[in-house]
Structure 1
Amino acid sequence: MFHHTTFTTLKLDEMVAFYENVAGLEPVYYGENAAWLTNDAANHRIALLALPGMKAPDDKGHTIGLHHTAFEHRSFEQWIDNYDRLAAQGIEPFLNLDHGMTMSMYYQDPEGNGVEIQVDAFGDWAKSKEFMWASEEFDRNPIGMHFDPAKVSAAHRAGLSFEEIHAKATAGEYLPAVIPEVYLPEFW
C-alpha cells in the first residue's frame, strides 16, 4: 500500500500552508527544515524537506519526473465546495479533466508540483478500475474531457446531480474557452 510522497523545497512555510489549504493536510511535525503532514490516521502522507543547498530546477514543467500527486474527496459536494472555497481565495486550477472514472482539478503548489484534487465518478473503486480496463471510452481517450470548473459549479448550484454533471462533462458540455496543455505550466 502506498504511504507517502516526499518533496524537497525552497519554500517550506508556503508549501505547508498550501497543502493545508488545498488538500486538508495538517502538520504532524513542523520544524525549521522539514515538515510531515497528514489528512488521515497515517503518521504522514507528505514529507517536506527544506535541506541546505537545494537549487531550483531547470524547466520543471517540461521535464520528466513526477507530474502530480492526487487527493480524493469522498463526495462530489465536498469536491465542488473545495473548488468554490479555493476560487474565492483566487486559487484556480490550471487543468480540469473528467477522466471518466474521476473528475479532477489540477493545481500547482508553491514549488510548481502538480496537485490533483479528484472525486471518484462511481463512488466505488472496483467500478472505477473496471471502467479503466474494460471500457472502450477510456481506451479511446485515457486523458478525458476538459471542463470549466466554474460551469460545473454553476450547474451544481442550479440543482443538477453529480451523475447529470458528470454525463454532461464527458459529453463536452462544460468545455473551457481555452483548452490547456496537459503538461505542467512553466513555473521556474
Structure 2
Amino acid sequence: MADDPVVLRFSHIGFRVHDLDRMAGFYQGLLGFTETDRGRLPGADGETLDLVFLSRDPDEHHQIVLVSGRPSRLAFNPINQISLHAGTLPSLLAFHRQVLAWGVDDLQPVTHGNALSLYFRDPEGNRIEVYVDTPWYVSQPARVPAPFDLPADALMRWAEAHARTLPGFRPRAEWRAEMAERMAGRGGGQAPG
C-alpha cells in the first residue's frame, strides 16, 4: 500500500506573555475570543507556567494559548504577526472602527493586492493582522497604505485599480489552480533522499 500524503491543517498558536490577565483581557475584549480553560503546568526548567486557552470557534478548544514567563529582555520580538480572517470587507471596516475606538498602537490599514489588511499591536507589542482576501493575486511581497475611511464598495474599487498596477496581477482563481497543482505534486512530508 502506498503511503497516503499527510494532511495538515493549521490549528492554533501559543506564545509567552508578561501579563497573562491583561493579554487575555485584550484578546477577549477587542478580538472576541472566549476563555475556554485556564491552568498551570510545570515548565521545562522547573518553573510553573500559567496558561490561558482562547477560542472563537466552539469546534476548536483553543486557537490561542497564552503562556506566562515571557523573558523580560529579548533582542527582538520573535512573533512576526498573528493573522485573523475577517470574513467580509464590511466586517473588516467595522472592526477598523472598533480598533480606532480602543486606541491601539501602530494602526496600519494596507493593501497587499491579494488582501486588504489592518495591522496593529497587542499590549505587549505583538503585531496582529485582521484581513480579507481580494479576488486577485499579485506577486508578493506588496504593501501599500489603504484608505479604510472609504465605504466598502469604493475601497474595493480602489484596491482593484491599485492591484492592476502591480506585477503578476491576475484572478485569484488562476493562482489557486496553479498552487493546487503544485501542492498536489509535492506528495507530503516525505523525508529527502
TM-score (norm 2): 0.66
Tell me what 2:74 maps to. 58
Matched, 1:83 2:96: yes
Aligned in 2, Cα 1:119/1:55: closer, same or farther, shift over 3 Å? same
Tell me what 2:52 maps to. 35
Pairwise CA distance, 1:75: 0.4
Matched, 1:152 2:148: yes
Pairwise CA distance, 1:59: 3.1
Letter in 1 for 2:35: P
Pairwise CA distance, 1:116: 0.8
Cα deviation digits, residues 149-169 of structure 1 (max 9, x gap): xx322x11xx74453142255
Given candidates 5, 8, 12, the residue that maps to 2:13 is 5
Identity of aligned residues (%): 20
Matched length: 147
Letter in 2 for 1:98: T
Contact 2:104 2:122 in 1 (8 A): no
Give unmatched runs, 5+ long, in structure 2: 1-8, 41-49, 166-193
Contact 2:19 2:68 in 1 (8 A): yes
Aligned in 2, Cα 1:93/1:24: closer, same or farther, shift over 3 Å? farther
Tell me what 2:109 maps to. 96
Given candidates 29, 33, 49, the residue that maps to 1:25 is 33
Contact 1:97 1:144 in 2 (8 A): no
Higher CA-based Rg: 2
Given candidates 167, 170, 176, the residue that maps to 2:160 is 167
* Greater strand proportion: 2
Please give the alpha-carbon distance, in whole angstroms, between the structure 1 residues aligned to 2:62 and 2:30.
16
Give unmatched runs, 5+ long, in structure 1: 123-127, 132-136, 173-188
Cα deviation digits, residues 28-72 of structure 1 (max 9, x gap): 013472200011121100001114xx42232324xxx43011000
Please give the alpha-carbon distance, in whole angstroms, between the structure 2 residues aligned to 1:168 and 1:59.
40
Aligned in 2, Cα 1:167/1:92: closer, same or farther, shift over 3 Å? farther
Letter in 2 for 1:81: A
Pairwise CA distance, 1:3: 0.7
Please give the alpha-carbon distance, in whole angstroms, between the structure 1 residues aligned to 2:105 and 2:111.
17
* Greater helix proportion: 1
Matched, 1:68 2:44: no
Moved over 6 A (4+): none
Letter in 1 for 2:23: M
Contact 1:60 1:112 in 2 (8 A): no
TM-score (norm 1): 0.68
CA RMSD of aligned residues (A): 2.4
Contact 2:104 2:121 in 1 (8 A): no
